Amino acid sequence: MIEFNEFKRPEWALMSQVSRPSRYCMSEWRPPAKVSWDEARVRVCLAFPDVYETGMSYYGFQIIEAMIHSLPGKYLADRAYCPWPDMAGLMLSGNIPLTSAENKRPVHDFDILAFTLPHETAYTNVLTMLQLSGIPLLREERGGDDPVVIAGGYGAYNPDVMSAFIDVFCVGEAEAILPGLLAVFEGMKGRPRGEILRAVTEIPGCYAPAFGGNVQRQYTETPFTLDSMIVPSVGIVHDRAAVELFRGCGRGCRFCQAGMVNRPVRERPESEAAKSILDIIASTGWEEAGLLSLASCDYSGIETLIDDLSPALNERHAKLSLPSLRMDGFSVGLAEKLEGLRSKHGGITFAPEAGTQRLRDVINKGITEDMITGCLTEIFSRGWERVKLYFMMGLPTETDEDLDAIAGIAQSTLKLARSLGRKRATVSVSVSGFVPKAHTPFQWERQNSIEELREKGRRIKSQVHDRNITVNYHEPEQTYLEGLLSRGDKRLCGVILRAWEKGACFDSWTEYFDLQRWLEAFDDCGIDPAEFIRERNEAETLPWDFVDVGVSKNFLLRERHKAYNGELTVDCRTGCAACGIGCVSCNSLQNSR
């Protein structure tokens, strides 16, 4: 919590001049630190390139900090977040350094500055945080007194795009990589920077751009379990406790990078998950816990878990929520059990992703027309009146018929609701532009242009006229930038730097996003952005091919061909598609092909 002397921090004098000063107070309830600043042998600052209320909603930071403090060495972990542009400008002009949340130390004083790269449109914020920390932006210009800058998260699966700014990329899960990395730092403390970086490259999962080479994603069979969490005193995006039911996803949606790079599926035992939920709620006072995973409904013990927890949670007036539901009767019945959805006033959300059965088969979504109709019938029969549906546009093989079917589903959903007596029913449709991602079966696909996406969004919207149906589509310009950065190469380092110099920041926030800065940056660097959204030849070497995420390139190619043939692939929980990740059944099938 805030101590009296913290009001002497220089940034406190700026609070009256910035929006939402509460995001800089860092008043939190948190477990006691394991070691003090002076006792620590290795000090790590976890950096999230977005504002506090967004970063504090990132479950990974809670896991990583607690995991570091659980290790036997004298390791200290702290956190830092990106100031909003008004605060960043004042800090820069006043020569006020970026400081950590807990120890209130300048970020530059840490041994390691560890960025999470959650999405591509956060890249310019990394540069802002480096600048405010007094750390040279370019890794080649850093000296022995500067922290070693590492990065993980989804951005690390195509590391070349940020390779000019990051000393070491950690490809995979923190539990599998950080213990070895911290041990190397502790053992080599005081040694020259180059020697430390060279030693780090020997750790599986670590890639240092200065030395090149290949890297293989690392994962753990036993993900770290939390028994408490840091609780902020201000509102955050996801203001609740969180518990991870399992890692990975076996469904194999062909557009989904997370589903490909997080294999295999690793479930927590029900008893462990239940204990974690109750321990966190008891220690934090939160009245809601989110059951997190890529597809939480797929947890094999989900119904038993909820039934077993209900008495204890009801006693504490606490509730559970699921971030995603699948479109079948099982999900609806499950939602009925959840205290967080029982009132039905908040609505319920599903993601059909595509409007026609043909296109859902292309992306391997595994949802049929009967499932959609049956699910919606169950929803309205049980009392829900607000439904939100997520779709994508610009998917491979998409036609006008597929787009028109999105509006058709929205209209038939409302009609169904009214036929079942839900006269006040509303349907909200959200459509995002498809971005081909590295390490997915669609990594070779062409991305739609801004004009194409805008026209598609308008086409869908123009076909809906009932005021109880709302249709919104994601800004095509932001989708376009995400696509440029997601499949880029080393040339984009210069573009990112130039765009940042022109003022690019918080590119995922509509109020600060300006595509013109980026187009000018591409022009200044003499690079045609069309190069990065084009279709890729299956025979060409891709910029991220040196990163082995477990699933094989042959598997991704097979999946791409099956997509064009409209063929489905089995969920790996019920069969095996020989993806190459290394489970026993996968290895045996791979060898037979």
Q: Which of 216, 243, 268 is the last residue of a domain?
A: 216
> What pLDDT score was predicted for residue 25?
81
> What pLDDT score was predicted for residue 317?
86
251's tokens = 């469904």
Nearest to 111 by CA among 36, 47, 42: 42
> What pLDDT score was predicted for residue 167?
98
The answer on 556 and 450 residing in a single domain is no
> The domain spanning residue 168 has which CATH number?
3.40.50.280
Residue 381 maps to a domain? yes
Contacts of residue 578, Cβ cutoff 8 Å, sequence gap at least 6 = 555, 586, 589, 590, 593
Q: Which helix (H) or strand (E) holds 242?
A: strand 241-244
The answer on 433 and 581 residing in a single domain is no
The answer on 568 and 434 residing in a single domain is no
Residue 160 maps to a domain? yes
CA–CA gap between residue 318 and residue 288 (Å, rounded): 5
> What pLDDT score was predicted for residue 73?
87
The amino acid present at 480, given as its one-letter code, is Y
Residue 567 maps to a domain? yes
Q: Which of 474, 501, 518 is the last residue of a domain?
A: 474
The answer on 459 and 581 residing in a single domain is no
Pairing of the two strands 42-48 and 112-116: parallel
Q: Could you state, in chain order, the average pLDDT of each consecutive group of 10 residues for the chain (593 residues)?
A: 46 79 84 91 98 92 95 95 95 94 95 97 98 98 97 97 98 97 95 96 97 96 92 84 92 95 94 94 90 87 89 88 72 67 65 96 94 91 91 98 98 96 95 98 98 97 96 95 97 98 96 97 98 97 97 97 96 88 57 45
CA–CA gap between residue 15 and residue 19 (Å, rounded): 8
Nearest to 226 by CA among 185, 301, 286: 286
Residue 384 maps to a domain? yes
Q: Which of 474, 508, 532 is the last residue of a domain?
A: 474
Contacts of residue 76, Cβ cutoff 8 Å, sequence gap at least 6 = 33, 34, 35, 36, 37, 39, 40, 42, 43, 44, 68, 69, 103
> What pLDDT score was predicted for residue 3?
40
How far from the centroid of its chain's Cα atoms is residue 20's Cα?
24
CA–CA gap between residue 556 and residue 545 (Å, rounded): 12
| DSSP category for residue 536 | P
What secondary structure does DSSP assign to 185-229, as a single string?
HHHTTTS-HHHHHHHHTTSTTEE-TTT---EE-B--SS----S--
- Per 3-state DSSP, the chain is made up of helix, strand and coil in percentages (nearest 5) of 40, 15, 45
Residue 403, domain extent: 342-474
Range 47-64 burial, b when 16+ CB lie within 10 A, else e: bbbbbbbbbbbbbbbbbb
Query: How large is the greatest C-alpha to C-alpha distance in the chain, in angstroms?
Result: 73
> What pLDDT score was predicted for residue 447?
98
Residue 412 maps to a domain? yes
> The domain spanning residue 348 has which CATH number?
3.30.750.200
CA–CA gap between residue 558 and residue 563 (Å, rounded): 9
Place of tokens 């993900």: 223
The answer on 437 and 575 residing in a single domain is no
The answer on 159 and 29 residing in a single domain is yes
Compute φ and ψ for 81, nearest 5 degrees: -130, 165
Residue 333 maps to a domain? no
CA torsion, points 26, 32, 33, 34, in degrees to nearest 10? -170
CA–CA gap between residue 95 and residue 503 (Å, rounded): 19
Domain count, the chain: 3
The amino acid present at 53, given as its one-letter code, is E
> What pLDDT score was predicted for residue 27?
80
Residue 461 maps to a domain? yes
| DSSP category for residue 254 | T
> What pLDDT score was predicted for residue 8?
53
The answer on 180 and 93 residing in a single domain is yes
Residue 564 maps to a domain? yes
CA torsion, points 151, 156, 161, 162, in degrees to nearest 10? 0
Place of tokens 């993806």: 579
The answer on 568 and 435 residing in a single domain is no
The answer on 465 and 567 residing in a single domain is no
The answer on 555 and 469 residing in a single domain is no
Phi-psi category of residue 239: left, alpha or beta, with phi > 0 → left and psi -120 to 50 → alpha: beta
The answer on 558 and 456 residing in a single domain is no
Looking at beta carbons, which pairs linking 571-579 to residues 24 or more positions away fall under 8 Å? Answer: 571/250, 571/251, 571/252, 571/366, 572/250, 572/252, 572/263, 572/264, 572/265, 573/250, 573/265, 573/298, 574/250, 577/252, 579/252, 579/263, 579/550, 579/551, 579/552, 579/555
